[in-house]
Amino acid sequence: MKRLILFFAAAVAAFAADPKLAGGPFVVNVNARSATIVWLTQGGEATVIPPTEAVRIAPSLHVEKTTLTGLLPNTRYEYDVAGGKGSFKTPPNGAGPYSFVAYGDNRTRHDVHRRVMATLIKHGIPDFVLQSGDMVENGNDDSQWPIFFDVEKELLRQTVIFPSLGNHERNSHDFYDFFQATMPYYSFDWGNGHFSIMNSDLENFPGNGREKAASWAEQTRWLEDDLQSHQAADFRFVTAHHPPYTAVASRQGDNKHMTALVPMFEKYHVSAAFFGHDHNYQHYLNNGIHYVVTGGGGAPLYDVSKPPTGITQKVASIENFVSVKVDGKVAKVQAIAIDGKVLDDFEIHGGPGR
């Protein structure tokens, strides 16, 4: 793998007169030939003094970015921009080895979130991250995003992030601005894998009930087209916030729109699907498809008192993340607890139409 170094002297010089760095830098929208580096600056702040609550500081955040083109595949690029150094890797062509992690729901208990990130980094920096949403408590609150980026800065400055919307992002414009997203759902290829990133947060879809239903129907048509057109990939992975199955008794039956997608997942041979929303670890195997809930990024834990019968492989109420290492047609999956112990360990065997 080649290593190249990029310097953005103009950006660094401009930053000298700009406000402080409030988030990043981090890298999004990577493919074999292009990538976008993003960083947030703080232009000022407002002090809000409620009559009965504590004083609040509301920062003014500005998004800065630069898009790189003409990159080489399977190459690690180092960069220095806006006073922050980092690196990222472009995906390999074909079946070259790669790794990624999946996790989410780190919106509260920032000290716990930091411990999860420390364990993840100790386990090894992945090529990219699948973030299943609920990164902050309220996506419309600008004061919360710098905390998220501060906790995750050591990870994000060394990898690429592909996020999905959680219900706590509340379909915020910040999500689209920060992660340079033009749509709430999208897909990408990495090596021999195809990844479909969904927006399962029906509650925060714009419009009335009929308009929400129409938007969901449009997304499911997109998903079917996306999966159908990538049957030649060795692996098809799906990420969304809300899971189709859960061991949390009080939530069973809540996500019927996701459960309704299971026949589509089976028809188009999805290899595995990664979710959040439930603050724990869950792994199900149903008709050859692995369904993994990894919502243990820091939010308060939920019990796993009622695991579905017949499909449950492992459930545990503990903070966690999931590591996936793909080499050829074998994906090795490990669920890692906050203390570094392996919760679950299994393999997925891929191939076109499998």
Query: pLDDT at position 50, please?
Result: 73
Domain residue ranges of the chain, discontinuous segments joined by +: 1-90, 93-349
Give the span between the Cα atoms of 142 and 170, in whole angstroms. 13
User: Are 128 and 100 spatial neighbours (Cβ–Cβ below 8 Å)?
Assistant: yes
User: How does pLDDT run across 260-305, given as a tens digit for each residue?
Assistant: 999 999 999 999 999 999 999 999 999 999 999 999 999 999 999 9
Quick one: tokens of 325? Answer: 């290492």
How does strand 330-337 pair with strand 342-349? antiparallel
Question: What one-character DSSP code corresponds to residue 295?
Answer: -
Q: Which of 98, 89, 22 is nearest to 61 (CA)?
A: 22
Tell me how far CA of residue 144 lies from CA of 148, 181, 199, 216, 299, in angstroms.
7, 19, 21, 28, 14
Give the span between the Cα atoms of 274 and 339, in whole angstroms. 21
Q: Which amino acid is at 100?
A: F
Give the span between the Cα atoms of 158 and 336, in whole angstroms. 20
Spell out the per-residue pLDDT of the chain, length 354, in tens.
556 655 544 344 443 445 689 899 999 999 999 999 999 999 877 777 777 777 667 788 999 999 999 999 999 999 998 778 999 999 998 878 999 999 999 999 999 999 999 999 999 999 999 999 999 999 999 999 999 999 999 999 999 999 999 999 999 999 999 999 999 999 999 999 999 999 999 999 999 999 999 999 999 999 999 999 999 999 999 999 999 999 999 999 999 999 999 999 999 999 999 999 999 999 999 999 999 999 999 999 999 999 999 999 999 999 999 999 999 999 999 999 999 999 999 999 998 867
Phi-psi region of 29 (alpha: psi -120 to 50; beta: other; left: phi over 0): left
Q: Which of 160, 99, 120, 136 is nearest to 320 (CA)?
A: 120
CATH topology of domain 93-349: Purple Acid Phosphatase; chain A, domain 2 (3.60.21)
Give the span between the Cα atoms of 140 and 128, in whole angstroms. 26
Quick one: tokens of 342? Answer: 């392996």
User: How does pLDDT run across 189-231, given as a tens digit for each residue?
Assistant: 999 999 999 999 999 999 999 999 999 999 999 999 999 999 9
How does strand 272-275 pair with strand 235-239? parallel
Query: pLDDT at position 180, please?
Result: 98
Dihedral (C-alpha) 350, 27, 89, 162: value to the nearest 10 degrees?
Answer: 0
Query: pLDDT at position 2, please?
Result: 57
